[in-house]
Amino acid sequence: MTDSDRQLFEYLQTFLTADRQARFADVLSQRTRRITVVLEDFYGTHNIGAVLRTCDAFGIQDVHVIEDEHEFEHVPEIALGSQKWLTVHRHGAPHPRVRCATALREAGYRLLAVTPHADAQPPEEVDVAQPCALVFGTEKDGLTDEILSLADGAVKIPMCGFVESLNVSVAAALCIYPLMRRLHAGPYDWGLTGEERETLLYDWVRKSLPHVAALEQRFRESLVAHDPLTSPQRAAAGR
């Protein structure tokens, strides 16, 4: 972040309430990139929204979306705005699965396919010492053979009823929650770096301000005019 970016950032933050700033700091301190979620060619905004909401709820920052036949759709109302706070990485044609798997592996992730069919370990036994990417397919079709062949391992949620698959947001929660609990309890360096936190906070602050473009414009004009800026706090103090 350049000096003028940082000045702008500080300026924008003054428009947030103290409660909002504290909430951002709190959520940010719990975010991780050590566990991430991959959605293979999802469709249906309800399912995507429910998974995004679960990711947000448990501190997962990154969601990778493989777009083959289905483009990622924006679902603000169902996810209760969760998507706004997450970093969605889209992997498209050609070869979206290979591209996604390669990018994740280069970033140090193990790819774990979550599937009811494999002979696999339950979520609470997944090794959290290495960053992992949990790959979910749609409820109807499950994971493709291609993504299964690209995965490094598999996770299976043990079930004992008549249904053969779980709602995907339920499966995601049952994988994410125990992994996050163990990450938090263990000796792992799971938080975001200072730089990552700054970048993300900047993004969140911008998304929280309804007239951010006008505020930024005002800031830039003030720089040109060498004019001290008036924040709401300064204005309230009569300065």
Site residues, a copy of itself (CB under 8 A): 23, 26-27, 30, 46, 50, 53-59, 80-82, 85, 124, 157-163, 166-167, 169-170, 173-174, 177-178, 181
Nearest CA to 84 out of 58, 40, 49 is that of 49
Q: Name the residue nearer to a copy of itself (CB basis): 101 or 172.
A: 172
Alpha carbon distances (Å) from 37 to 16, 124, 232: 30, 16, 39
CB 107, min distance to a copy of itself, A: 22
Tokens of 104: 């994740």
Q: Name the residue nearer to a copy of itself (CB basis): 59 or 137.
A: 59
Sign of the C-alpha dihedral, residues 37, 50, 200, 99?
Answer: positive
CB 222, min distance to a copy of itself, A: 31
Q: Tell me which residue has tokens 């706070």.
A: 85
CB 156, min distance to a copy of itself, A: 12
Q: Name the residue nearer to a copy of itself (CB basis): 101 or 201.
A: 201
Q: Name the residue nearer to a copy of itself (CB basis): 60 or 101.
A: 60
Which element (helix H / strand E) includes 25? Answer: helix 18-30
